[in-house]
Structure 1
Amino acid sequence: MDSSRDGRALGPRELGPRILDDLWNRRDVGVIDRHFGSEVVTHLPLPGQPVIKGTPGLRKLAEDMFAALPDLAYRAVEVVAAGDKVLVRGELTGTQRGFLMGIPPTGRSTRLTEHVILRFDGDRVVEMWQQADYLSVLSQLGITPPEGAGPLGTVAHTFRTVGRLGGLAVRDRIRQRKAAAR
């Protein structure tokens, strides 16, 4: 088990938020190997996202998040623990510079509020659940119609959004080709 600055072993209540801080703020992907069981099961409420089984899938998720939001920052707001489970209410902020949930880079800032439940077996996370406000992120990225748009406004917003996302995807491909040519 990890230890605190005074040398005592950390329990799940202290370890849970520390793991999330090390992963998201310090970009320490090694925390996954150190603190997640190799067969960890991760439940994410993303459309089309199956349950992630094992540390390789969790590592890829983290790397994709770092690519999408290079300035990603995490803040734990509240921690509640009971037995082998820890709930961390937190928020992630960042600027979308890469593909996020299939959306091309918009350059817009996002703030995601979430609840993460970590179930421990000793000092290893063996199961993780996340509930997050992804609809708010879609709104911040300009994907959802503005409030009060009405039926015609919603249709117009949809057409503008499809065109804008297509243009952003083309711009990103051109940027990638230029970078590869250098």
Structure 2
Amino acid sequence: MKALIISDSHGWQRELKEIVDRYRTEVDIIIHCGDSELDRDNEALTGVKVVKGNCDFGDDFEEEIIETVEATSIYVTHGHLYNVKMTTVPLTYRAEEKQADIACFGHSHIATTFEQNGIIYINPGSIKLPMGKRIRTYCICERTDDKTTVTFFEKDGVRVEDMIYEFTV
């Protein structure tokens, strides 16, 4: 299973479409963790699984989704409803409730990944307004039978060498 995970693009259409198009044919799923600030029918979101962020208005997107790709259960939410800027505890409870293998979220604009209780959590950061390292990021998550690799990239496609993480499944 290979997933492209993006979040917090805050109205950027051309830049988002460039990233999506760069990987469209080599990933199994494309996920946007909210705050796209775009309508569902926007060309940049074609074929993308999107959740609603706190800056997304209207009823275009669900607050959370769960997708299964090659027997991997992926839970996606923006994170604002789980207070992820303060703690990830409520998010971890929800991911466990959903029996997720991977939980994707955004909102904090801080690129991070970690494992807890057998679930891998991924925040791809923001391609427009990054916090933390201040690098505009997204990531690729690749899961095989024995490991999961999460690799972060700068907006222009350059791999962030000190942000490659491997987890044993």
| TM-score in terms of structure 2 length | 0.25
User: Would you tell me which structure has more helix in proportion to its own residues?
Assistant: 1
Structure exhibiting the larger radius of gyration computed from Cα positions: 1
Q: With CA pairs under 8 Å and 6+ residues apart, which has the higher RCO, 1 or 2?
A: 2
